[in-house]
Structure 1
Amino acid sequence: MGAVAGRPFSFYAIGVSYRKADAEMRGAFSLSPAATDKVLKQARSEGIPSLAVISTCNRTELYGFAQHPFQLIKLLCEHSHGTVEEFEKIAYVYKNDKANDHLFQVGTGLDSQILGDFEIIGQLKLAFKKSKKYQLINPYMERLINAVIQASKRIKTETDLSSGATSVSFASVQYILENFRPGTHQNILLFGTGKIGRNTCENLIKHTENKKITLINRTKDKAERVAGKFDLVVKDYAELEEQIAQSDILIVATGAQNPTISKDLIHTSRPLLILDLSIPKNVHEDVLQLDNVSLVHLDELSNITNRTLQNRENFIPQAQHIISTIQADFKKWQESRSFAPTMHALKTKLATIKEAEIKSNRTKIENFDQQQADLIADKIIQKIAGHFANHLRDEEVNTDEAINLLNRVFKLEDLAS
């Protein structure tokens, strides 16, 4: 679906998240880095002026300008395994101010599955950076993401919304702490050393004091880099089955599009806890056919409630106040940007009328004072322009309609272009 002739562009946020979509459905709509590139390329070819794409374990969202939200929905469904029918049941579409509000909530961790998760702002930065390479970020979206980044920084430094460790990686460690006696040392196998795997590794060492951690990654040198930082053991991918058999806890964070662990890889009768931190799920449900295996997915991990997470809720009003302040500044910029050309054209038009009237009356009025006439006329022009500007800022006024009326009444089209 390309451009719709005559229809104006609006800013939209469309997507699916943990709020209405379970892990399986989020997996269906997830976008790999390669799929994200395809979305951006197609967006450019279809005339979408600005677009950013984010796909994490908890959400897949498109932020961009379109003439109809279906232009963005179509892009998402064409490059993921989700359908339009499924999207309509579980997704959300926000427009203009509501889309802005949503991006602020997401970027500051207030819409995260684990409240105060600040990893999301880094993912948003990368998403916008990638879009910029495709020349798909217009001044509006660039200013907006910078405002969101500013809000995130202020909330992080001025509130305790991020107190304690955050994110899915911390939730997995919290689960282990709550389900195993303090001081016991389990053999932990971490399969996958991407971002979630690295963060999990760091949290395991920091909070469990457990050094019996083994790392496996399909690309061994990545695992070795992580292991070197923490002085841990690395094993070859070929030894995965053998290492699972020796483990008490298996943490899977491989980020693959299909399950990487199934019951065929498990050859042990000892109790085995598997924590799947991946979207889509990287552990096949068939592992539950084994009596000795317990499987916990990140959706369950995210439901962990503890004093730290509950305490963060006390700082939501403070965070919302910071967001409101920064949003107000953004709105002022947005308003001035939307009608600045019209106001400039109006002042130019009024100045032209002033000059014509002064020229016409200069010789007709005895002792005509040019300086005084200019001074008074300029003040009148400023007051007229000020009244129009205030009218355009009124929330109950349709700015586009008001600007069109001004253009018609004063014939400003040529001057504003």
Structure 2
Amino acid sequence: MSFFALGVNHQTASVELRERIAFNPERLSEVLSTQNHNPDLHDMVVVSTCNRTEVYAMAENADMVLDWLARSNGIDVKQLLNHVYRYENADAITHLMRVASGLDSLMLGEPQILGQVKTALSLAKDAHVVSPHLNRIFDYVFYAAKRVRSETAVGSHAVSMGYAVAQLALQVFSQPEKLTVMVVAAGEMNSLVAKHLAEMGVAKVLICNRGHERAEKLAQEIAHRVDVEIIPFHQLAENLYRADVISSCTGSLHQVISFNDVKTALKKRRYQQMLMVDLAVPRDIDSKVENLDGVFLYGVDDLQTVIEENLAQRRQAAVEAEVMVNQLATQLMTRQKVREAGSTIQAYREKSQEQSQQELALAMERIQAGEDASQVMQEFSHRLTQKLLHPTSILLREAAQAEDPTHFEWLQENLDHIFEQERKPKAVK
């Protein structure tokens, strides 16, 4: 039984193919719940996001996992063959660590993937398809991802517009919990801005959008984290003074925030500083606003420069992170080998104990039958020694006959070392 990682991602498959083999949580729970009755494949975790679908499983071979992935999505295995990557044991663990750490993401160092992997494990546990052994692998992977995050800078620099705006707010204002944020338009870009700032703990988010439906949708997505208020678009100017941070991205052909609007807002705020971010092209905010004392105005080009610099820093940090991941994967494999060796040693001890009891019982019968006790015990010692050394002798003989002599040399050197340690006199306590 081996540990396999098998799947497709944004680098190996088109959006159309990824859509065909994607799982939403409800369907994944349903599919996994049938796996605990499958004698061949019942120990697995499935990670499915917009950029990847991957199966992590204990199985006899990778084809078994591939067949399951194709069958579960009603497609021919041949359609996946040219797009699927597969890893086994140490390579599979390394891949999973890279995924959980954000090193394999479309956006290098993205933090969301770790939570998605944890959710995938939770769904698999609920479906009772995670063995203690597989669970230990994932626990160690989460430990590795946490170390990568905390000990390298791979995720510490803003590399998306939404995150960059949030980081700017932290640089301009020292107490995010007191901030009121206004997003002008509730499209994809400003939705990310609102979500990042909500996660950072701002006090309130004002959503100003032309249509109420999209504003309401965004409000529902962040209301569990922050106080939210929806403002009609025609009331934008008269509410500007309420916002410490304003992010605008309307797609309008004309400016929606004028110099006079901001000047009036500043006066109402008694000239408390404002951070204004214009993510729109053409621009939403009158560029003369940057001449007003107390206003920090940033445009798309300003943020893009910051993002490019930060991405370069992430790439540099990723080199260090890759080294760490390889080291941690090796450590996990070593732990697993030690654990497996422990079970083998236990089985060997139990077998030896059984042989010892059998030989002892035979010796006692002979002594009770009147045979010479000294002779019986000598034969008991000889027979037991032969039985106990038989497996070791076979291994040494096979190692000596192998084409590669290094295994025999390793066994010989270590046995000599053990015998040398045994010959040393024990210290008197």
The TM-score bracket by the shorter chain reads 0.5 to 0.7
Q: Deviations over 1:254-298 (max 9, x none)?
A: xxxxxxxxxxxx8x43599xxxxxxxxxxxxxxxxxx979xxxxx
Distance 1:156 1:145, change over 3 A: same
**8 Å contact kept, 1:54–1:62:** yes
Distance 1:314 1:93, change over 3 A: closer
- Between the aligned partners of 1:91 and 1:45, the Cα distance in structure 2 is 26
Shift of 1:221: 3.6
**8 Å contact kept, 1:248–1:271:** no
SS of the equivalent of 2:106 reads coil
Identify the residue that residue 151 of structure 1 maps to in structure 2.
Answer: 144
Paired AA for residue 331 in structure 2: T
Distance 1:70 1:340, change over 3 A: same
Which residue of 20, 31, 35 corresponds with 2:23?
31
Identify the residue that residue 86 of structure 2 maps to in structure 1.
Answer: 93
1:269 equivalent in alignment to 2:253: yes
1:321 equivalent in alignment to 2:327: yes
Q: Deviations over 1:48-101 (max 9, x none)?
A: 321211112321111123445444334433454865333212111233443333
Q: How does 1:57-68 map to 2 (within 5 A)?
A: 57-68=50-61
TM-score of the superposed pair, with normalisation by structure 2 = 0.57
**8 Å contact kept, 2:70–2:77:** yes
- Between the aligned partners of 1:165 and 1:213, the Cα distance in structure 2 is 27
**8 Å contact kept, 1:151–1:326:** no
Paired AA for residue 6 in structure 2: I
Q: Deviations over 1:314-358 (max 9, x none)?
A: 422234323322332133224444x45742553244324542564
Distance 1:318 1:141, change over 3 A: closer
Identify the residue that residue 123 of structure 1 maps to in structure 2.
Answer: 116
Q: Which runs of 5+ in 1 are unaligned?
A: 1-8, 237-246, 251-265, 273-290, 294-299, 397-417
Identify the residue that residue 287 of structure 1 maps to in structure 2.
Answer: none
Which of structures 1 and 2 has the bigger CA Rg? 2
**8 Å contact kept, 1:74–1:84:** yes
Which residue of 161, 166, 180 corresponds with 1:172?
161
Q: Which runs of 5+ in 2 are unaligned?
A: 173-180, 209-213, 233-246, 257-280, 284-303, 403-429
Distance 1:74 1:321, change over 3 A: closer
Paired AA for residue 355 in structure 1: L
Shift of 1:204: 9.3
Distance 1:324 1:114, change over 3 A: farther
SS of the equivalent of 1:306 reads helix
Identify the residue that residue 355 of structure 1 maps to in structure 2.
Answer: 360
Paired AA for residue 18 in structure 2: R
- Between the aligned partners of 1:64 and 1:146, the Cα distance in structure 2 is 15
**8 Å contact kept, 2:102–2:108:** yes
Shift of 1:235: 6.4
Q: Deviations over 1:288-311 (max 9, x none)?
A: xxx979xxxxxx9xx966343123
- Between the aligned partners of 1:45 and 1:197, the Cα distance in structure 2 is 45
**8 Å contact kept, 1:35–1:79:** no
Identify the residue that residue 249 of structure 1 maps to in structure 2.
Answer: 249
Distance 1:163 1:384, change over 3 A: farther
- Between the aligned partners of 1:390 and 1:197, the Cα distance in structure 2 is 66
- Between the aligned partners of 1:112 and 1:81, the Cα distance in structure 2 is 27
Identify the residue that residue 260 of structure 2 maps to in structure 1.
Answer: none
- Between the aligned partners of 1:114 and 1:373, the Cα distance in structure 2 is 72
**8 Å contact kept, 2:163–2:193:** no
**8 Å contact kept, 2:46–2:56:** yes
Distance 1:32 1:270, change over 3 A: farther
State the superposition RMSD in angstroms.
5.1
Aligned-residue sequence identity (percent) comes to: 17
Distance 1:348 1:321, change over 3 A: same
Paired AA for residue 135 in structure 1: H
